[in-house]
Amino acid sequence: NHTVLVSRSGGERVIADSGSPIRDSEGKVIGVVLVFRDITERRLAEEALKRVSRQNELILDAAGEGIFGLDLNGNHTFVNPAAAKMLGYEPDELIGKHSHSTWHHTKTDGTPYPEQECPIYSAFKDSAVHHREDEVFWKKDHTSFNVTYTSTPIIDNEKLVGAVVTFRDITEHRLAEEALRKSEEEYRSLFEESKDVVFISTPEGRFIDINKAGVELFGYSSKKELIEADIEKNLYVHLGYRKELLKILDEQGYVKDYELLMKNIKGDILIVLETATAFRDETGCLTLYRGILRNITHQRKLEQQLMQAQKMEAVGQLAGGIAHDFNNFLTAIIGYGSMLQMGMEKDNPLTPHVQQILSSAERAANLTKQLLIFSRQQIIDPRPVRINEIIFAIEKLLSRLIGEDIELKLTLSPGNPTIRADICQIEQVLMNLATNARDAMPNGGKLMIKTESVVMDDKFMMTCGCGKEGQYVVVTVSDTGEGMDEKTRERIFEPFFTTKEVGKGTGLGLAIIYGIVKQHNGCINVYSEPGEGTSFRIYLPLIEDKVEDRIVSGQPDAIGGTETVLLTEDDSEVRQMVSGLLADFGYTVIEAVDGEDAVEKFREHKDNIHLVILDVIMPKKNGKEAYREVALMKPGIKVIFESGYPADVIRRKGIIEEGVEFISKPFAPSELLKTIRKVLQQ
């Protein structure tokens, strides 16, 4: 019996009482012995124990983790609800069952899991805690799930009695991890595969990370090598540029398409656009920059070339326009001057003045001719020629030109390549280049001319801003002279650009070369640095044609004739001059003022006319149209075209064909007379 008594102090005590009767000798109960025991302490201990085990139960029930106990045979001693649920069993179903063979029998890859390898049971062998994160448990329905588990040995009184296993289903976690890894991979490849350079850098000037495009752009052999580089020192062209950029980044937080000059490992200049953002920590301190770089070097080059080409085109048009009008005046000046001279007695005291006029006019004519060459308004006479032969033929002349202090060295391509060119013009190119080289080497040096055949791809021809891909002959003319800086280099092809003192240079040499090369469908580049010499490279399209033998015809002397000539010329001054000249030399001249008039006059006098002189470009009807009509009336009629107008335009428009006689204004009278005789005697 338990009795609760209240002690004098007020505390409750639990008393266990037992009584036994006291009997006399006859067995009669005469009293009772009562024994009281205070069991309060024991009761408390028991209740505490009960409470603990209830608490444990609660904990086990509430735990989200699977928890179970194993005896030394590997059989379940207890299983919490979470464990049972995850494995798909009722807790009772598992108690006493062998754990390994129930839900740990097969490995992740589907192969059997030998019991002796089971880390859960290893706890029995070494009394140590075992933890795994990469295995699966098998459910009652034979499906599996990813788990992380810990097997902890239970030691009671220094004796191993079993193990407690806790585990968690990490399938979700695995999926999330996988998704994260995938998304990271995607961003990584976005970063790595970007054709623009993507980087993260520090304010101190190091890359933290940079993609493949960056390693390629800067020409480093690996990302590691580039990360070790000092951005400002190794990649910027000008020290201080970076500070400027960082200042803007600092103030604005970002930059967009900021143009920078950078360099690759070889020192080649790169023009890049940077777009970047600055990142700060909580204290507002700049910690890093993230951004992209876009290489626009090639694009810029093309733009510059286009601008250069457009400038040259505009200058050419201007120069050509002036030269053309100027030519008409010169034709009149030279014509009248010549007539004046012819009409004078040898001892006339005014003869020297006339001569002076004529020679000045000749020089002026020469100048306008050069301008016309530059503006590609000169008719050229291209034919298949061997470039080596042209060079070889004027080797002596070039040697004499450059003087004894300069050594001339030819390295001619063994293939003897053929191009389609006007020999005289190619000779002029070489002579102009040699003259410049001589001027650049006042103390002597070396002039080298080299030819080689090359195949140019599209990309190269694009960068050099001209022509199509294909086979070219490259003529390289290099000297060991003073070279030139960028400012000079940019302008050398402009007409009248010269760095030489007045009277020494006209600034037309390279302008003419430029015009000639362009007219030959070629292109020209210059490589030069101050003090490093200069090298011009001229690309001319290679052709397959056979080289015709050069015909050297005997020139007839300047003489007159008695034939009738129809002279068409819209410029009345020029017309009168030529007409007078021809009349002086015995010809009968019929004048026409334009193409239409020419056809009219021809119809009237067609039986008498032996030769028609037509200006190529005239009002109303151009030379070709007039010629066509005239030739219909009298097939085989002889013709000479003349013009100071853009010759390549004329050729392009098919106004005059090759083989048709052409005389360019201004012409010397003897030249015209010779040509007339030549044509009439054909």
Residues of this chain that interact with Mg ion (CB under 5 A) are 436, 509
For ligand ADP, give the closer residue by CB, 375 or 418. Answer: 375
Q: Considering the complex, state which of residue 122 and residue 506 has its C-beta at the smaller distance from ligand ADP.
A: 506
Residue number with CB closer to ligand ADP (506 or 564): 506
With CB under 5 to 8 Å by kind, the binding choice for 506 among Mg ion, ligand ADP, none is ligand ADP
CB of 388 to Mg ion, least distance (A): 24
Choose among Mg ion, ligand ADP, none what residue 580 binds, the Cβ cut-off being 5 to 8 Å by kind.
none
Q: How far is the CB of 510 from Mg ion (least distance, A)?
A: 6
DSSP calls for 10-47:
S-EEEEEEEEEEEE-TTS-EEEEEEEEEE-HHHHHHHH
Side by side, which strands form the sheet with 76-79? 76-79, 66-71, 159-169, 144-156, 130-138
Nearer Cβ to ligand ADP, position 353 or 500?
Answer: 500
The entry of ligand ADP, Mg ion, none that residue 452 binds, CB within 5 to 8 Å by partner kind: none
* Residue 492 binding result from ligand ADP, Mg ion, none, given CB thresholds of 5 to 8 Å by partner type: ligand ADP
**Smallest gap, in angstroms, from Cβ of residue 323 to ligand ADP?**
17
Select the binding partner of residue 640 from Mg ion, ligand ADP, none (C-beta < 5 to 8 A, by kind). none
Q: How far is the CB of 368 from ligand ADP (least distance, A)?
A: 17
Query: 565-601 burial, b if ≥16 CB within 10 A, otherwise e?
Result: bbbbbbbeebbbbbbebbeebebbbbbbbbbbbbbeb
- Output the smallest distance, CB 533 to ligand ADP, in A: 8
CB of 425 to Mg ion, least distance (A): 16
Locate tokens 């003192």: which residue? 501
Collect all residues with Cβ–Cβ distance below 8 Å to 660 and sequence separation of at least 6.
639, 641
What separation in angstroms does the CA of 427 have from each of 50, 262, 387, 389, 569? Answer: 118, 42, 10, 11, 33
Q: What is the DSSP string of 492-541?
A: TTSTT---SPTTT--S-HHHHHHHHHHHTT-EEEEEE-TTS-EEEEEEEE
d(CA 320, CA 509): 16
489 closest CA partner among 464, 510, 458, 505: 510
**Least distance from C-beta 508 to ligand ADP, angstroms?**
6
Closest-approach residue to ligand ADP (CB): 509
**What is the total residue count of the chain?**
682
> CB of 435: closest distance to ligand ADP in angstroms?
7
Q: At closest approach, how far in Å is the CB of 590 from Mg ion?
A: 46
> From the list Mg ion, ligand ADP, none, which binds 661 (C-beta under 5 to 8 Å, kind-based)?
none
Binding site for ligand ADP (CB under 6 A): 432, 436-437, 440, 479, 481-484, 488, 492, 497-500, 505-511, 534
User: Minimum distance from CB of 515 to ligand ADP (Å)?
Assistant: 11
Contacted entry of Mg ion, ligand ADP, none for residue 521, CB cut-off 5 to 8 Å set by kind: none
Contact 153, 127 (CB under 8 A): yes
Of the pair 274, 494, the CB lying nearest ligand ADP is at: 494
**Closer to ligand ADP by Cβ: residue 215 or 510:** 510
Residue 427, both tokens: 């000779």
Tokens 């979700």: give the residue.
172
130 or 369: CB nearest ligand ADP: 369
CB nearer ligand ADP, residue 380 or residue 492: 492
* Cα–Cα distance measured from residue 259 to residue 236, given in angstroms and rounded to the nearest whole number: 12
Of 492 and 640, the one with the shorter C-beta distance to ligand ADP is: 492
- Minimum CB distance to ligand ADP smaller for 372 or for 618: 372
Contact 477, 437 (CB under 8 A): yes
In terms of DSSP bridges, do strands 523-528 and 445-456 run parallel, antiparallel, or are they unpaired?
unpaired
CB 329 within 8 A of CB 323: no
